[in-house]
Chains A and B, each alone.
Chain A
């Protein structure tokens, strides 16, 4: 079965600073990887996904992530944090062709300081 580990339950950055949220995956077959964002009292919204095409994936709101097979990583980055980026971020993995068995990481809470 596949799984993801998010390193750091809480990340704090200053407005304008680089955002780096870490995610490592484990999967016995080529994985599909996702980053979702959750604002307070809301559902999850997809930021970006990797589905075995380009390894550098660009998403919404200026976020991007790079799939690195050698490091089994899929870290999320944004060059310059904005106050509105403060939220909970979840990395998720699923695998196989027909199996829908998405597993979410524990989440990372991003705080942006003025």
Chain B
């Protein structure tokens, strides 16, 4: 299994809603990532988890809350989002956290905030 699975594929939410994005991999990877990608832009790193511990937080607003319950799962909890948060949210994983490691990406969750 060489896949990173993200659910849901599409999500529409209001600014007062609470929702969660889920990401799962069974490749034994110990580093997992959340990226945000706006249309026609490159992905921007949000969070990195290494061995289930938050390793990097790229100054992301607190309305985004990551969680890594175990080595296979990564969640992104959303609360009180703004319309400008509408984007494709990509999860990725790698064997370990390291500059030479290649990233395996999921297909993303397309989020629309109304």
B-binding residues in A (CB < 8 A):
32, 34, 36, 41-46, 49, 51, 90, 94-102, 104-107
Against A, the Cβ 8 Å flags (1 = close, 0 = not) of B93-114 are 0100111111111111010000
**A45 and B103 alpha carbons, distance in the complex (Å):** 8
**A45 and B43 alpha carbons, distance in the complex (Å):** 13
Q: List 22 A-B contacts (CB under 8 A).
A: A32-B99, A32-B100, A34-B102, A41-B110, A42-B108, A43-B92, A43-B106, A43-B108, A44-B90, A44-B103, A51-B100, A90-B43, A97-B98, A97-B99, A98-B98, A100-B97, A100-B99, A100-B101, A101-B56, A102-B45, A102-B99, A104-B43
Question: Is A107 a contact partner of B42 (Cβ separation < 8 A)?
Answer: yes
A-binding residues in B (CB < 8 A):
4, 6, 31, 40-43, 45, 48, 55-56, 90, 92, 94, 97-108, 110
**A104 and B99 alpha carbons, distance in the complex (Å):** 13
Question: Is A45 a contact partner of B98 (Cβ separation < 8 A)?
Answer: no
By a CB distance below 8 angstroms, the chain B residues around A41 are 107-108, 110
Contact among B40, B100, B105 with A94 in the assembled complex (CB-CB below 8 Å): B100
Contact among B42, B55, B100 with A104 in the assembled complex (CB-CB below 8 Å): B42
**A34 and B100 alpha carbons, distance in the complex (Å):** 9
- Chain B residue nearest to A46 (CB atoms) is B102
